[in-house]
Amino acid sequence: MSSTPGSRPGDTRRAAARPPVSRRPVLTDDVPAAPQPGQPGATSYSSRVLARVLDDLIRIPGTRFRVGLDPVLGLLPGLGDAAGSAIASIIFVDAVRLRVPYRVLLRMGLNLLIDALLGLIPFVGDVADAAHRANSKNLRLLERTVEHGDIVHADHRTYVLGAVGIVVAIMAVVIGLAILGIWALLRVIGLV
């Protein structure tokens, strides 16, 4: 009995044929490309999970109504709304990555500003915030835009500068509203 290289003497099993090892470098053509606008899965998994966690995490027993962490964060005056808006900006990053038109970014920003304005009203605003669901609205708006292939074909730098300008302006207003909320709370308490 002959043994194959690497086997023990007396082993009658044949060594499994191994596929030849390629010595060529891995090319970027071998890596699947990210989904293009209009293809399933173009929006990121993190944006979908984020919208669910912030707006639809838990169903209220006995109802069809769902609530997420956004209104719960909003119970912390000013800081909670600022934190919720900062977390929600991940959806904006996804929108810029997919090159949605400026008008869509502005509409998404309007949803976020309404969310922040509602959050300024203690307790009642948090209930309204739960009903408004800005993150879910922004995700649906983003997915609908991408599904229809409505993307910007302008120069990359020009688009990114404009989009970043829009997002920074929106976040500055949201942060300003959070500071206003904190100031108003401190004034009511009598610390200012």
Residue 33: the pLDDT is 45
**Range among 20-24, 25-29, 152-156, 182-186 rated most confident:** 182-186
* Chain position carrying tokens 């401190």: 186
E strand or H helix at 59, and its extent?
A: strand 58-59
Tell me: pLDDT of 181 over 90. no
Q: Does this model's pTM top 0.85?
A: no
Residues 168 and 111: beta-carbon distance below 8 Å: no
**Domain definitions of the chain by residue range:** 38-189
Residue 167 is predicted with a pLDDT of 87
Q: What are phi and psi of 43, to 5 degrees?
A: -75, 150
pLDDT class of 14 with cuts at 50, 70, 90: low
Q: What is the mean pLDDT of residues 27-36?
A: 42
